[in-house]
């Protein structure tokens, strides 16, 4: 079970890295377009520098942003040249008939592939057979079509397990917190989640209530507690000294 962070925002990535739960980062051209306009390569290098600063040797998915298959292969070579020193780079390629050729070519370059935009069982199977290391199934977008995303994930999981397929299933396109739970329960290896959901995933009103109660009960108890007498050995070993421990924890000789 792994959670990836679905963002290109440096601050959000850093907040996740500080908390240790992130097992990977996924980006796509739309996600990048939400950041302040700047050179694409510089931004990806900044993400890599951040990962290194936190000693987080975790997969970073970067998507090709051209559609002609030959141009995609050239762009993938540029990604390998520019970012390939980061060994956990995964080049994201949308699934498609011509794109299988791109996946195969990238794998032959020795780079890893995250085959993205998969909406069906067949697409996931074809992506894995072409050599993709990750297949990304788009939970929210599958549901938009009226199909059951959990069934698609479950079926792909079952076939990968039965056939001993190495490709890992990433579930993306998360729209609500319950999507994360259901995707993991359906058999996703990884769910990639927009950062806005993380604080919510750690919170519960009954947790707040319990913590408040513990603190206020303790404060009431410690304020009301009378001084306690404690017998301690004297420093020279001759007998015992009597100390009064005040309620605030400070010790004083009577």
- Catalytic residues, by residue number, are 92
Q: Which residue's CB is nearer to ligand E4P, number 133 or number 136?
A: 136
Q: Quick one: 2 or 245, whose CB is closer to ligand E4P? A: 2
| 26 is a contact residue toward ligand E4P (CB under 6 A) | yes
Letters for 178-217 (x = contact with ligand E4P by CB under 6 A, - = none) are --------------x-------------------------
Minimal distance, residue 81 CB to ligand E4P, in Å: 23
The greatest distance separating any two alpha carbons of the chain, rounded to the nearest whole angstrom, comes to: 90
140 contacts ligand E4P (rule: CB under 6 A): yes
Please identify, among the stretches 23-31, 69-77, 93-101, 156-164, the one whose residues bind ligand E4P according to the rule CB under 6 A. Answer: 23-31
Taking alpha carbons only, the member of 193, 140, 137, 194 closest to residue 168 is 137
Phi/psi at 171 (5° precision): -105, 125
Query: Which of the stretches 46-54, 135-143, 180-188, 235-243 binds ligand E4P when contact is defined by CB under 6 A?
Result: 135-143
Q: How many CB atoms lie within 10 A of CB 143?
A: 16
Residues 6+ apart with CB under 8 A from 64: 72, 75, 76, 79, 91, 92, 93, 102
List the beta strands (DSSP E) in the chain.
2-6, 22-26, 60-63, 89-94, 112-118, 134-138, 168-172, 190-193, 228-233, 240-245, 251-252
Q: Strand runs (DSSP E) across 12-82, as ranges?
A: 22-26, 60-63
> Nearest Cα to 154, choosing from 169, 140, 166?
169
Residue nearest to ligand E4P (CB): 172
Q: Are 29 and 52 in contact (CB under 8 A)?
A: no
7 makes contact with ligand E4P (CB under 6 A): no
Q: By CB under 6 A, what part of segment 154-183 binds ligand E4P? A: 172-173
CB of 222 to ligand E4P, least distance (A): 48
| Residues binding ligand E4P (CB under 6 A) | 6, 26, 28, 30, 116, 136, 138, 140-141, 172-173, 192
């Amino acid at each position: 079970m792994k959670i990836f962070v679905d963002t290109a925002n440096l601050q959000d990535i850093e907040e996740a890295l500080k908390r240790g739960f992130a097992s990977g980062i996924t980006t796509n051209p739309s996600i990048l377009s939400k950041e302040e306009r700047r050179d694409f390569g510089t931004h990806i290098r900044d993400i890599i520098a951040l990962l290194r600063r936190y000693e987080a040797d975790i997969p970073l998915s970067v998507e090709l942003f051209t559609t002609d298959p030959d141009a995609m292969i050239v762009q993938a070579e540029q990604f390998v040249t520019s970012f390939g020193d980061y060994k956990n780079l995964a080049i994201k390629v949308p699934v498609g008939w011509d794109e299988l050729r791109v996946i195969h070519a990238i794998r032959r370059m020795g780079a890893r592939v995250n085959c993205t935009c998969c909406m069906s069982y067949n697409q996931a199977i074809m992506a894995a057979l072409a050599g993709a290391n990750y297949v990304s199934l788009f939970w929210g977008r599958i549901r938009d079509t009226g199909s059951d995303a959990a069934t698609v994930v479950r079926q792909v999981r079952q076939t990968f397990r039965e056939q001993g397929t190495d490709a890992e299933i990433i579930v993306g396109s998360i729209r609500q917190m319950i999507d994360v739970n259901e995707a993991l329960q359906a058999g996703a290896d990884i769910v990639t989640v927009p950062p806005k959901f993380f604080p919510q995933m750690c919170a519960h009103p009954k947790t707040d209530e319990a913590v408040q109660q513990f603190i206020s009960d303790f404060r009431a108890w410690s304020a009301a507690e009378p001084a306690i007498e404690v017998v301690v050995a004297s420093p020279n070993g001759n007998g015992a000294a009597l100390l009064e421990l005040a309620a605030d924890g400070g010790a004083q000789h009577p």
